[in-house]
């Protein structure tokens, strides 16, 4: 007669082991493997996986046996086996602990093949730390969101039919038509829905475009520019040619070298803030035609302009030769949490771009598309942009009022548009020293060191104000005034 199997033995919740042994143990009676072997196996696996960190002192055999409901000999035999194979070690007066040698063996293995070379961290800012005032570029306020309209949009998405398929990898046709109409209203760019590809933001759009290029292509890139885009180009195996810049944006001359692609931010240079003049835009298009190249126009915050009239997009000036791929985003318009942007490209390139999106992830999540379509069709996106533009204009006005009197020691640049400005410092002021002193006061700004890959690093502070209130911007600006006034 076979004895019934008893329930597994587990550590008791009320046991003093709860704080001493950060794993659950599960011992079974009535099985072929002895209890001490089961215990040794589970402790060894926990040590090798890191669940029991190196140097951790284990409970005494009597204490652990009481917690497990087994005899002390079971624990003693398990400990002895693990000491013998080097998983555990003992020392007089220090008890039994996880061996440092076992931890080193895990670190050497690492789970990666020998040829793998881990890259450096992604060139993006980490999560915002609590406290202080953070002038962060690339963030947007959600204070202007109409929460009722937002919830209605997601309710509409929830009412949509649940499909059994992935949907169109280019994006739902009705959403693409609504985005084309939106860009026509906001940026004067005429496009049909067939030229629109819904993406998971501008970076994904750029990565799709980079797949169009032959291997190891040359790419023109603003000498001080968007770090993540620059790294995406390098990670794709292409090479960078720096474009010099001034207050009118990238400098294009007959001597500008050939390349397969140029990446520019003409509406509001990132991060320097200048606007590419119309003659420069026309020169850029001429360069592309001459060298049979493509242009990526990243219009990341083109909806936010203050006082200055909008300049025509490169894409709208490119109606004849079809060299420009226009990148738009709803991250700055609504919230980065949506992870939604769009690409408008020449008709001849769209099938290849859609193919690349298909192989990447088969397209954008349908509930997100349905919610965005509701916001666009009801006019809520346009209303939200008007509210948000007023909000940002108020923040910008405070920064201008407080910081402009610092001239000529410090001069604002890029104030006409967008969600950030640059504060250019004159000698003997040093941007890194000023940023360090501001950080000590709880005001966090960036310098342009990591944004510049060629030429001299501009001596400037990058002040992103998209996520600030008027009160925060005012308090931060006065701290900047005090530091700059006290440094000279």
- Indicate whether 374 and 409 sit together in one domain: no
Residue partners of 112: CB distance under 8 A and separation at least 6:
118
Does 178 have pLDDT greater than 60? yes
Tell me the whole-structure pTM to 2 decimals: 0.77
The whole-number pLDDT of residue 104 equals: 54
CATH code (residue 268): 3.40.640.10
- Indicate whether 49 and 88 sit together in one domain: yes
Segments forming the whole domain that contains residue 69:
9-109
The whole-number pLDDT of residue 410 equals: 95
Instruction: For residues 378-405, give the mean pLDDT.
Output: 94
Confidence bin at 307 (pLDDT 50/70/90): low
The whole-number pLDDT of residue 103 equals: 58
Q: How many domains would you assign to the chain?
A: 3
- Indicate whether 328 and 397 sit together in one domain: no
Contact 228, 270 (CB under 8 A): no
More confident residue, 10 or 395: 395
Contact 175, 157 (CB under 8 A): no
Q: Select from 480, 390, 400 the least CA-distant residue to 435.
A: 480
- Indicate whether 298 and 403 sit together in one domain: no
Instruction: For residues 129-144, give the mean pLDDT.
Output: 88
User: CA 475 to CA 473: how far, in whole Å?
Assistant: 6
Confidence bin at 140 (pLDDT 50/70/90): confident
Confidence bin at 414 (pLDDT 50/70/90): confident
User: CA 305 to CA 115: how far, in whole Å?
Assistant: 49
Give residue-wise pLDDT tens across range 244-269. 998 888 999 999 999 999 999 998 88
Range with lowest mean pLDDT among 28-37, 85-94, 220-229, 446-455: 85-94
Contact 458, 272 (CB under 8 A): yes
> What does the DSSP 8-state code read for residue 275?
-
Residue partners of 65: CB distance under 8 A and separation at least 6:
71, 72, 74, 75
The whole-number pLDDT of residue 110 equals: 56
- Indicate whether 159 and 233 sit together in one domain: yes
- Indicate whether 205 and 278 sit together in one domain: yes
481 in a structural domain: yes
User: CA 54 to CA 204: how far, in whole Å?
Assistant: 41
User: CA 106 to CA 147: how far, in whole Å?
Assistant: 49
Does 107 have pLDDT greater than 60? no
CATH code (residue 425): 3.90.1150.10
The whole-number pLDDT of residue 487 equals: 52
For 328, the token pair is 């738009």
Range with lowest mean pLDDT among 32-36, 275-279, 300-304: 300-304
115 in a structural domain: no
119 in a structural domain: no
Please give the helix or strand (H or E) that residue 299 lies within, else none: none
- Indicate whether 172 and 292 sit together in one domain: yes
CATH code (residue 101): 1.10.10.10
Q: What are phi and psi of 326, to 5 degrees?
A: -95, 130
């Amino acid at each position: 007669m076979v004895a019934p199997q008893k329930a597994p033995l587990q550590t008791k919740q009320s046991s003093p082991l709860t704080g001493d042994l950060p794993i659950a143990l599960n011992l079974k009676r009535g099985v072929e493997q002895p209890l001490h072997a089961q215990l040794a196996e589970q402790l060894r696996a926990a040590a090798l996986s890191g669940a029991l960190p190196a140097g951790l002192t284990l409970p005494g055999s009597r204490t652990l046996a009481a917690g497990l409901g087994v005899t002390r000999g079971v624990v003693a035999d398990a400990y002895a086996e693990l000491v013998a194979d080097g998983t555990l070690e003992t020392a007089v007066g220090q008890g039994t602990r996880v061996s440092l040698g076992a931890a080193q063996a895990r670190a050497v293995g690492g789970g990666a093949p020998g040829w793998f070379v881990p890259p450096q961290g992604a060139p993006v800012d980490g999560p915002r730390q609590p406290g202080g005032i953070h002038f962060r570029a690339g963030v947007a306020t959600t204070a202007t969101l109409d929460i009722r309209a937002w919830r209605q949009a997601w309710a509409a998405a929830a009412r949509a039919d649940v499909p059994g398929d992935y949907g169109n990898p280019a994006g739902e046709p009705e959403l693409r038509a609504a985005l084309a109409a939106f860009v026509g209203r906001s940026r004067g760019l005429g496009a049909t829905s067939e030229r629109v590809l819904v993406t998971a933001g501008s970076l994904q759009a750029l990565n799709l475009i980079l797949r169009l290029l032959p291997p190891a292509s040359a790419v023109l890139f603003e000498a001080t520019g968007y770090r993540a885009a620059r790294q995406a180009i390098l990670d794709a195996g292409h090479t960078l040619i720096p474009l010099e810049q001034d207050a009118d944006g990238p400098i294009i001359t007959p001597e500008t070298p050939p390349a397969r692609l140029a990446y520019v931010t003409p509406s509001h240079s990132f991060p320097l803030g200048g606007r590419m003049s119309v003659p420069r835009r026309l020169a850029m298009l001429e360069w592309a035609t001459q060298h049979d190249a493509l242009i990526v126009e990243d219009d990341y915050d083109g909806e936010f302009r203050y006082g200055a009239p909008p300049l025509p997009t490169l894409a709208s000036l490119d109606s004849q030769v079809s060299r420009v791929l226009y990148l738009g985003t709803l991250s700055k318009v609504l919230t980065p949490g949506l992870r939604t942007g769009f690409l408008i490209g020449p008709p001849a390139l769209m099938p290849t771009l859609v193919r690349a999106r298909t192989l990447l992830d088969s397209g954008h999540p349908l509930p997100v598309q349905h919610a965005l379509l509701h916001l666009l069709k009801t006019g809520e996106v346009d209303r939200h942009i008007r509210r948000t533009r007023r909000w940002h204009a108020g923040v910008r006005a405070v920064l201008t009022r407080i910081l402009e009197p610092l001239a000529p020691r410090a001069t604002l640049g890029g104030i006409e548009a967008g969600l950030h400005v640059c504060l250019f410092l004159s000698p003997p002021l040093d941007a890194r020293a000023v940023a360090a002193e501001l950080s000590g006061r709880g005001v966090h700004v960036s310098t342009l060191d990591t944004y510049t890959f060629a030429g001299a690093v501009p001596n400037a502070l990058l002040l992103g104000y998209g996520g600030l209130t008027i009160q925060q911007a005012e308090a931060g600006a006065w701290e900047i005034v005090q530091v700059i006034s006290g440094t000279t």
